[in-house]
Structure 1
């Protein structure tokens, strides 16, 4: 009876695929959350909207809230490509 092949490589590959799939939301949008002082938050949002225009990437501020110390926590979202 032949010896069983090692399955560690297959197990690593499956684990890597599952980890990647769990990070990518099902709706296809890429999201990034920031917590910055108000002026830097405005600059970061402007940077995203200039780099990935809303018309092509559906870029938007998905959610935001004020934190103590004039900090703004917000999540930007966009499509990965303009196709």
Structure 2
């Protein structure tokens, strides 16, 4: 029985990282998105700042994605509407 190996994902990870860096802070679609990388506690504080400044009920604010990196660093993307009509 043949065993299949998982292909290396290094190239894909580099492309995703490059895309995120190039598009950080850009508005895509109807949402404003911003990506941050910081230590865990600072990341929590930054997310709280966004929710305080842009309440979820009015701006649909949310942590769109997040991942833990080496050294207790968190990379996360915040998303919100540009205005609260």
Structure 1 length normalisation: TM-score?
0.70
In 1, distance between residues paired with 2:38 and 2:44? 9
Provide runs of 4+ in structure 1 moved above 4 Å: none
Q: Which structure is larger by alpha-carbon Rg, 1 or 2?
A: 1
Structure 1 residues not aligned, in runs of 5+? 1-22
In 2, distance between residues paired with 1:36 and 1:24? 21
Equivalent residues in 2 for 1:5-20, closer than 5 Å: none
Match of 1:25 in 2: 28
In 1, distance between residues paired with 2:59 and 2:50? 10
Structure 2 residues not aligned, in runs of 5+? 1-25
CA RMSD of the aligned region, Å? 0.8
Count residues in correspondence: 60
Tell me, yes or no, if structure 1 residue 43 matches structure 2 residue 52.
Answer: no
Match of 1:7 in 2: none
Tell me, yes or no, if structure 1 residue 66 matches structure 2 residue 57.
Answer: no
